[in-house]
Chains A and B, each alone.
Chain A
Amino acid sequence: MTAHANALENTEAAPMWKSGSNLEKILAEGHFAVTGELGPPKSMNTKLVHNKIDMIKDFVDAANVTDNQTGIVRLSSIGTGILMEQEGLEAVIQMTCRDRNRLAIQSDLMGASVHGIRNVLCLSGDHQSFGNHRGAKNVHDVDSMQLIRMVQEMRDLNKFQGGEEIKGGGPRLFIGTAASPFSSPIEMRPLRLAKKVAAGADFAQSQMIFDMKLFKEYMKRVVDLGLHEKISFLAGVGPLKSPVMARFLHEQIPGIVVPEDCIERIEDAGKGIDSDDKKALQEAYRAEGIKLCIEQIQEVQEIEGVAGVHIMAIQWEAAIEPIVRGAGLYPRPNLGPTG
């Protein structure tokens, strides 16, 4: 073989993209990315999945599909992800370390890959004691950091964690990680992100942000560490449905801080409405929640180092459309088929 032919073959063989996912391309081309979230049902009711897909598919670049979130058994993230891909909604499958050891994880990731899945979010997983099988034994053979590294080595070095070669190449996956900027120890959080970058993460999605002042301080440290150049950081946002939900998030969910003025805004939206008129109250709260979310997206867009938003509309997928439209992020760029 001539040197020329050899070089040609090499160019052909070398993939242009790490994964070729839509999300990767959107970020690489400098668009402000929008991801959403789709929670699979606690059943095999695919109609529910299709409805959710229809609701969000035109308004996000990809959507996370949760993996037995909060330790509750649901339709699998990969199974649901395949349905999403079939209908033109790109999936970010969540993969937790709670339920699978390194054998199962690698095998499932290859399985997902042959079905066209191109993004994975590597998580430790919520503890089973929060879920509906509290006596279950968790696995945690690898942790989320080791999972990131494992997927990166499968993809870039074509090698299994055990060291053996993956013949024909490893799964081409765009590797995501979760960031929790406000969990304690708070001074450690940017460094933890740095470690995830070192392990091989390509993008990060943060826990829901409401406290912009705190978030700006965090992002400043991220930028000072130069991490924004190595990882695409998607700020987590979400619409508040009611004052009760706002308080619940603030008080019960570690790492979520909802400042009092946000809670008050939602509360005030219900002022003057008869407290018996539950429907009118709900509508007023929800409209304000969406409005607040839009303003927050516009605010995070201005923060250095933020490459996109991850919208978590928990059990409220219908909110995605008005939020994305309201934030001026519609239509989403069409970058052609996943490569």
Chain B
Amino acid sequence: MIVAEQKPLPDLQRMLKGKKKVLAVGCGTCVSVCFAGGQKETRGLAKALQTAAAVDGEEMVVEEKTVQRQCVQEFIEPLEDDLSEYDAVLSLGCGVGVQTMAERYPKTRVLPGLDTNFMGQPTEPGIWEERCVGCGNCVLEYTGGLCPITRCPKQLMNGPCGGSENGMCEVDTSIPCIWAKIWDNSDNLNLMDMLMEVQPPKDWSTSRGGGMRRTVVRDDLHQPHAIGKATKSEVEAMETSEEDEVPTPEDPHAGEREDAFLKEMGLA
């Protein structure tokens, strides 16, 4: 899940200064699980902001709504009709949610209410830890199911640095040295031979190195404009042609790949 925290109140007050009517939009998925931007938090924050403004002698109305999934355009569609009433939207979605709002409603001032931290998991009540940086080329096969790209501050791929002590990391002694854990896991799983192989430099082109990534992983599901910047008429057009066959984009290398595959399997 995506883990986020609310921005400090003074930051939010500064952002919203001078606005008369604000809509706080919560999200019922990840950020609600980490108690940052769900319905309850959104209600609470709306109240707090309104009170704080009143204390400062300003008039600001903060209303709130929570959508189930702010990162998917269909889910924020119902907000459209009312948006013109507000001077600003304070999004309590993660960074993706904020941008989904901003892109879908380019005439509305959309502001971020949360600081989005990472992809992670709750490990104990009140503690969330990062687990994946979405490098686009998963190495967990070689590392006993634990991610050194995310969890080793030096992103080492071939074993621990000299700073590992008593199972903890020198960079932050409150977090485990993930390589100590990888070692233990690999030992338990009889994967030590794998640890002894020199892992070559990683191909970071699937990661953040080259800018924004756009992935179409499922050609069979990919319908240009079905999701995203679809206008109402486009959506209508799509609905009316529901029964028509959606042409799958041509894959120029499909034939070659199939041949190679058959060959490898000894079938060609």
Interface residues of A (CB under 8 A from B): 97-98, 102, 124-125, 127, 129, 138, 140-146, 149-150, 161, 178, 180, 183-185, 188, 191-192, 194-195, 198-199, 207, 254-255
Contact = CB atoms under 8 A, between A and B. Distances in A.
Interface in B181-214: 183-184, 195-196, 198-202, 204
Contact of B177 (A142, A184, A199, A207): A184
A254 B170 contact: yes
B83 interface: no
A127 B171 contact: yes
B150 interface: no
Interface string B200-239: 1110100000000000000000000000000000000000
Contacts of A102: 201
B155 A184 contact: no
B198 to A, nearest CB: 5
B198 A161 contact: no
A184 to B, nearest CB: 5
A146 B157 contact: yes
B158 interface: yes
B40 interface: no
Contacts of A98: 154
Q: Which of A141, A178, A199, A207 has most B Cβ within 10 Å?
A: A141
Contacts of A97: 154
A255 B180 contact: no
A255 B199 contact: no
B28 interface: no
Given A127-B154, A129-B171, A140-B154, A188 B198 contact: no
Contact of A184 (B180, B196, B200): B180
B158 A143 contact: yes
B167 interface: yes
A185 B183 contact: yes
B162 A143 contact: no
Given A143-B158, A180-B161, A180-B162, 17 more contacts: A97-B154, A98-B154, A102-B201, A124-B154, A138-B153, A140-B155, A143-B155, A145-B156, A146-B157, A146-B199, A161-B201, A178-B162, A184-B165, A188-B160, A188-B183, A254-B165, A255-B163
B154 A184 contact: no
A314 to B, nearest CB: 16
Contacts of B196: 191, 194-195, 198
A178 to B, nearest CB: 7
Contacts of B200: 146, 149
B146 to A, nearest CB: 14
B164 interface: yes
B183 A143 contact: no
B195 to A, nearest CB: 8
Nearest to A96: B154
B84 interface: no
B241 interface: no
Contacts of B161: 124, 144, 180, 183
A198 B197 CA distance: 9
Contacts of B163: 127, 183, 254-255
Contacts of B198: 145-146, 149, 195, 198-199
A254 B164 contact: yes
B166 interface: yes
B159 interface: yes
Contacts of B167: 184-185
B166 A127 contact: no
Contact of B154 (A125, A195, A199): A125
A141 B159 contact: no
B164 A184 contact: yes
A149 B177 CA distance: 24
A192 B159 CA distance: 7
Contacts of B166: 184
Most buried by A among B158, B164, B165: B158
Contacts of A207: 162
Contacts of A195: 158-159, 196, 198
B159 A145 contact: yes
Contact of B157 (A138, A143, A191): A143
Contacts of B180: 184-185
6 smallest A-B Cβ distances: which pairs? Answer: A180-B162, A145-B158, A254-B165, A140-B155, A127-B171, A143-B156
Contact of A146 (B184, B201, B204): B201
Contacts of B177: 184
B171 A146 contact: no
